[in-house]
Amino acid sequence: MRAHNFSIPRSTLGIETKDGKFPITCCSTEEQLYKNRATPEVVRAALEFTPSDPRQRANEINRAFKHFDYANSHFLVTAGIEVRETPEMIKGRMLGTPSIVFGTGERNLNQRPGVWDVMRQRLASPAQISRWIVIDFASVDPAAVHYFVGELLQAMRNLGIQVPNPEGVERRSTQGDVLQELESLRHRHNPSLIVAILPDPAEEQYRTIKRFGDITWGVATQCVRWSNNLSRNVSSRKVNQYQNNLILKINPKLGGVNFSPNSPVLQKLKGMPFMVIGADVSHPGPGSQLPSIASVVASFDRNACQYAASISVQSSRVEVIENFSEMFLDVLNSFRGRNSGAIPKIIIVFRDGVSEGEFDNVARHEKEAMEGVFDQTYPEGKRPKIVHMVVGKRHHVRFFPTNPGQADNRGNGNFKAGLVVDNEIVHPRYCDFYLQSQPGLKGTSIPSHYTVIRNDLGMTMVELQELAYSLCHAYSRSTRSVKVPAPVYYADLVCRRAKFHYDASINDYSVSSASGYEDDDSQLNYYRQHFNPVNSSMKTQMYFV
């Protein structure tokens, strides 16, 4: 910042420094690193600037190396550092592709690993909807809403969901009291599902609806953003794909299962009760006074497709899950409740959001927390076997095919889904591997980095890799394999929904009166007091998808 040094009245709007207070009009901002969340326009510009495929990216990297001329750098040479100007050649393997199980049978993905669809299929376990309503908050043309609802109803029935006609299609304004309207309609219709059509954008209305459904009343809600693109698709009668994507969210929220992966390692695990856990901690943005949010999700079905969630407020920017013991007990009780009191004999944990320097600390803390729960819930000598893996996404490792035959011929030049690398570039101390589980769409695919920090079960490296890859096919919202196992994605989704748990006293989910507290503990307690738990009826429902 540059500022002119002269006296000004105290009441004038300006910037205050140790040297005085200066008018805004006399100040300018220097170019600097922007650390807050980028706007959609900036993201689009960055994507356009980024090379569109791995070959272009590799060429850009090679050009940059030649430009910097590291081999002749006086500083690097005198420090004894050598930087290779050519990429490292390493060997990888392609994992066997799991099949996808629908209600109509099993679908093989060998022709194109990681890609499938729900066309002409029945969902693996369709939900039953007893009563549902549609609320139009976007003032959409009634004929367009009628067509949209009719197509949604038909698409649900085609996929096997038992659903009657909606109790009503209500037209309401976002200018009114949205919460009051929701309460009135719930009392009148008592629905198990509310489909809300919202204008674009409608962030505050969206938050109100989700808080009403997840926290206040415990009813499944599905919001539809009536964008210009959706409006055009409705006008041209091209909404089938959109409706199917919508149903992939609706069905799990009501207790259904869209599809499930099948592989030898999953078949082996099904021989005894097992539970898969995803755990994550999300931190507030730079400058925010909000605390961090921890989440734990855990499967309770034999296919590791249905999950219960637990969420907690904790100290800001702490990677260890402080309340892991209580959260683990919470999801363990959900497992027991859905399995006639049975307890899992195998527990597999996928932990997200841990830096390498925190591996030992996290492993020790979470092991002690689980052991304390086992003391309360397991008979003597019957404790479960634990497998604990950390999933890393923020790294700079990229893989480039050496010839076109290694790439997905219907993708953009990335490797086919299922590439695993467990040699040469791995950690000298930990057992780890890289897995590129997703089919590339645009840009260069980022592999996920898995580090095994506990393996009581004695699973082989290949079994661990196949398990992680199989669970990348279990994400209910996608008909493509994803970058990390489904429980990791679900834990991240639960963290993102923290803003729905805060009550109105936390102003706009940003700055609140908590900033007036003198110590960190008091401020954290303030947030905890105003953080509401999910409604008890949603405890074992996948409300977060």
DSSP 32-77: ----SPPPHHHHHHHHHHS-SSHHHHHHHHHHHHHHHTGGG-HHHH
Same-domain check for residues 314 and 356: yes
Q: What is the pLDDT of residue 249?
A: 98
Answer with the one of 253, 285, 316 that is the final residue of a domain. 253
What is the crossing angle of helices 240-253 and 142-158, to 10°? 60
Same-domain check for residues 385 and 523: yes
Give me 452's structure tokens: 């095994």
Same-domain check for residues 240 and 138: yes
Q: Is 65 exposed, middle or buried (0-12, 13-18, 19+ CB in 10 A)?
A: middle
3-class SS of residue 222: strand
Q: What is the number of alpha carbons within 13 Å of residue 185 lying toward its C-beta?
A: 29
Q: How many CB atoms lie under 10 A from the CB of residue 485? A: 30
CB 224 within 8 A of CB 195: yes
Instruction: State the residue range of the domain holding 49.
Output: 40-78
The verdict on residue 243 lying in a domain is yes
The verdict on residue 387 lying in a domain is yes
Same-domain check for residues 143 and 206: yes
The verdict on residue 99 lying in a domain is no
Same-domain check for residues 386 and 475: yes
CB 443 within 8 A of CB 50: yes
Q: What is the number of alpha carbons within 13 Å of residue 454 lying toward its C-beta?
A: 22
| pLDDT averaged over every residue in the chain | 91
Pairing, β 220-225 against β 274-282: unpaired
- According to DSSP, residue 103 is labeled T
Q: What is the pLDDT of residue 245?
A: 96
- CATH code of 501's domain: 3.30.420.10
Annotate 304-317 with three-state secondary structure. CCCEEEEEEEECCC
Contacts of residues 24-31 at CB distance under 8 Å and 24 or more positions apart, as own/partner, are 27/1, 27/2, 27/3, 28/1, 28/2, 29/1, 30/1, 30/2
The verdict on residue 102 lying in a domain is no
Same-domain check for residues 338 and 463: yes
Closest listed residue to residue 87, CA positions, set 373, 359, 314, 401: 401
3-class SS of residue 164: coil
pLDDT mean over 131-160: 96
Confidence of residue 21 (pLDDT cuts 50, 70, 90): confident
Q: What is the pLDDT of residue 519?
A: 65
Q: What's the length of the chain?
A: 545
Q: How far apart are CA 285 and CA 9, in angstroms?
A: 34
Q: How many CB atoms lie under 10 A from the CB of residue 373? A: 18
3-class SS of residue 385: strand
- Number of structural domains found in the chain: 3
Confidence of residue 10 (pLDDT cuts 50, 70, 90): very low
pLDDT mean over 292-317: 97
Percent of the chain with pLDDT over 70: 95
Same-domain check for residues 357 and 469: yes
Instruction: Report pLDDT digits (tens) over 267-301.
Output: 999 999 999 999 999 998 877 888 999 999 999 99
Q: What is the pLDDT of residue 479?
A: 97
Instruction: Report pLDDT digits (tens) over 146-191.
Output: 999 999 999 999 999 999 999 999 999 878 899 999 999 999 999 9
Instruction: Report pLDDT digits (tens) over 398-450.
Output: 999 988 778 887 778 899 999 999 999 999 989 999 999 999 888 899 999 99
Omega before 23 within 30 of 0, i.e. cis: no
3-class SS of residue 502: strand
The verdict on residue 95 lying in a domain is no
Same-domain check for residues 330 and 456: yes
Same-domain check for residues 214 and 324: no
Answer with the one of 207, 223, 253 that is the final residue of a domain. 253
Residue 62 pLDDT greater than 70, yes or no: yes
Same-domain check for residues 196 and 302: no
Instruction: Report pLDDT digits (tens) over 318-354.
Output: 999 999 999 999 999 999 999 999 999 999 999 998 9
CB 433 within 8 A of CB 462: no
- CATH code of 148's domain: 3.40.50.2300
Confidence of residue 518 (pLDDT cuts 50, 70, 90): low
The verdict on residue 83 lying in a domain is no
pTM: 0.91
Same-domain check for residues 227 and 269: no
Same-domain check for residues 267 and 247: no
